[in-house]
């Protein structure tokens, strides 16, 4: 899914951030915390291309990142 989204959408498309977040939750459940953290970091990076740092979605992802740390 991510590969297709990266080909079809611009770097600023929010769908890509959602996919990174979803990947992180799956990776966390598999016990792959380092990879989950990396995915959430990518989600935050994508979101910040189009949203303010105080946006609720950005805050949610940063909170999840702290949880993973």
Per residue in 29-44, pLDDT (tens digit) is 999 999 999 999 999 9
**In the prediction, which pLDDT does 8 show?**
87
Distance CA(10)–CA(8), nearest Å, equals: 7
- Alpha carbons 19 and 3: distance in angstroms, whole number: 10
The 3-state secondary structure of the chain, one letter per residue: CHHHHHHHCCCCCHHHHHHHHHHHHHHHHCCCHHHHHHHHHHHHHHHCCCCCCCCHHHHHHHHHHHHHC
Model pLDDT, residue 21: 95
**Whether this model's pTM surpasses 0.75:** yes
Calculate the alpha carbon distances from 12 to 27, 46, 53 in Å: 24, 6, 15
């Amino acid at each position: 899914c991510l590969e297709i989204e990266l080909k079809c959408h611009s770097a600023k498309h929010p769908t890509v951030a959602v996919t990174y977040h979803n990947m992180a939750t799956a990776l966390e459940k598999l016990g792959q915390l380092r990879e989950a953290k990396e995915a959430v970091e990518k989600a935050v990076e994508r979101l910040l291309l189009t949203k303010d740092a105080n946006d609720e979605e950005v805050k949610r992802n940063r909170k999840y990142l702290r949880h993973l740390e």
